[in-house]
Chain A
Amino acid sequence: MGLVVEGKGLTKRFGEGEAGVLAVNSVDIAIREGELIMLMGDSGCGKTTLISLLGCILTPNEGELWIDGDQINHPDQDLSVVRREKIGFVFQLFHLLPYLTALENVMVAMDLAGEKNDQAENRAEELLTQVGLGDRLEHRPAQLSGGEKQRVSFARALANNPKIVFADEPTANLDSRQSENLMSLVRELRQEHRTTIAIVTHHEGLKKDADRIVQMKDGRIVSE
């Protein structure tokens, strides 16, 4: 299986001098196609910063990054193109747009990629049906439960057939039943789409689903 994401010597520093924080310190990481990887560690160990670097949201101070075989040239490349074409994101607080329905929230991702409206609508409906929300298409986020919102969030992340989905603490705001339902959805989605997924989590109970667990401490990977 080929590498979907590969980072070498990735370093991210926030601030300057003594007040500066070295959030990610010279990290080497490779994520293979179809893999479910979990990044674990204490709060502040650099997990979210690392997936932000891998997801082309942050620019590293040092290091190199390849996504789907292409090296990311941070200063000169339009990273929004990489994010919408190759990466899907799932956020801890769901971050669905409150003025759009579930269907429209999924369509937005395809709208950004220039997908035609009717095609985007069909695919969004298909994805929402897959995540068990076929009867919630016209509901707005305020009318959905936390678990349902996170399912919409997963559907949105998958909308553009990304090479990898990064999920930041996707179960942190869900109760145990909702968390279990969500992980069962993740398993189904992996089987269905063979999607590569990287999940940042504190939740020890999720470990059983992981192909690989990356443990972080003080901005470094301490075990794999």
Chain B
Amino acid sequence: MKSIFLKDMAYRRTRVVLTAIGITVLILLILFLGGIMNGMRIQATQYVESTGADIWISAEGSGGAFIGFSMLIEEYMAQLNVAPGLEPHSASPLVFAQARPIIRGKPSKAIVVGYQSGKLGGPAHAREGRMFAKSKFAGYSPEAEVDLEVVVDEKMGLEIGERIVIGGKELKVVGKVESLMFVLDTPLLFMNVRTAQNVLLGNYPRVNMMIAKSGKGVPPEKVAKQFEYSPLKIEVRTLQQTIDDIIDYYVVSPMRAVTFLRVMLWLAAGILVGMITYVTTLEKTQEIGVLKAIGASNMYVMQLILKQVVLISIVGVLCGLILSFIFAAVAPIFVSIHLLESIIVAVISFLVCCFSGYLAARKAVAVDPMLAFRGEI
């Protein structure tokens, strides 16, 4: 009779179902939280990679282009455009700053990307409408008129010709570009570098970073290294270093608590299975005593408990896996669950559940068959 453990589970189905649901929810949370972090990682890097730049320049002591307070003046441009190791005239100024635009009367969140149209830093073409008007970075004049034009993310739902307000200035939507959200689905608003300075930096003639391309055949690492001894007061990082900075600043550090929570959830899954198996074992001590009295070996009792733990864990883990992919697809934020990661999470969670179930099953093995002579089942 191979299905005695199944019959026992069917008899205690409420507890079995609740345990499986508990594991499902925990796996779902573990994978979903991981998926949010993956989504943040992807969104944190996709803009940086899209710029085409492999050299990122920020002010000395800022800690990196996206990290600390960095302000650069236009004079650097001339020197960077002729710097050895860099592609001639590839250097481009960039304003990258969080903003609180008023869209259709409601405050929203966005990142303003100010760059020179046709240069590194943002899309070269609009999908709909047109790109913002060109303007010079050099030759700053505070009195010069600024075009208050913005190109928006196509997923923002804005129409061409619509107006949004940033820093008290009204900007006209002139084009839409392919969606390129930043961390936590923050849309990017592209505008001329002068416009960004005007609406965000009080028309102050500075940018918070400059980007460039390394020369043909010159490794970006070598370029970054050569600037270590430059008299320019700048920090130079490669694309990879910049990506690492962004991920650490925008994902790893703020999500450290979430990572800790994920480990806690794993422990919770193990404790849940262990506790329920333990309580169920305690409830069944009389039955186990009878089984042992009529000849069940310790191995038989151990297998009886472990088969149940394994089956419940498999069902819980599989349901958690399936639901996490479904939830990721319908989540209001970008969630990216990797198949390999989910398999690793599933295997580890399964092992944690089985181990805690094993600890509880040891209690069952230790049951005294004398219990068969006492009390009712």
A residues within 8 Å of B by Cβ?
Answer: 48, 52, 55, 57-58, 78, 80-81, 83-85, 87-89, 91-93, 95-100, 104, 107-109, 111-113, 117, 120, 156-157, 160, 168
Contacts and interface: CB of A to CB of B under 8 A. Distances in A.
A81 B296 CA distance: 8
A211 to B, nearest CB: 24
A55 B370 CA distance: 11
B377 A97 contact: yes
Given A52-B370, A168-B373, A95 B286 contact: yes
Contacts of A157: 294
A104 B4 CA distance: 9
B322 to A, nearest CB: 29
Contacts of B376: 93
A52 B373 contact: yes
Of all A-B residue pairs in the complex, the 4 with the closest CB atoms, nearest first, are A84-B295, A99-B11, A83-B295, A95-B290
B377 A95 contact: yes
A107 B290 CA distance: 14
Contact of B377 (A78, A96, A117): A96
B109 to A, nearest CB: 57
B1 A104 contact: yes
Interface of B: 1-2, 4, 7-8, 10-12, 286-287, 290-298, 300, 369-370, 372-373, 375-377
A107 B4 CA distance: 10
A81 B377 contact: no
Contacts of B297: 78, 80-81, 112
Contact of A80 (B8, B295, B372): B295
Chain A CB within 10 Å — which of B292, B293, B373 has the most?
A: B373
A139 to B, nearest CB: 14
Contacts of A104: 1, 4, 7
A80 B4 contact: no
Contacts of B286: 95
A111 B297 CA distance: 12
29 contacts: A48-B373, A52-B370, A52-B373, A57-B293, A57-B369, A78-B297, A80-B295, A80-B296, A81-B295, A81-B297, A83-B295, A89-B293, A89-B294, A89-B372, A91-B290, A91-B372, A91-B373, A93-B375, A95-B286, A97-B4, A97-B287, A99-B7, A100-B7, A104-B1, A111-B1, A112-B295, A120-B1, A157-B294, A160-B295
Contacts of A81: 295, 297
Given A91-B290, A96-B377, A98-B11, A117 B295 contact: no
Contacts of A48: 373
B373 A108 contact: no
A4 B370 CA distance: 22
A80 B287 contact: no
A99 B295 contact: no
Chain A CB within 10 Å — which of B11, B287, B291, B295 has the most?
A: B295
Given A93-B376, A104-B7, A83 B1 contact: no
A107 B293 CA distance: 15
Contacts of A100: 4, 7
A78 B298 CA distance: 10
A97 B290 CA distance: 9
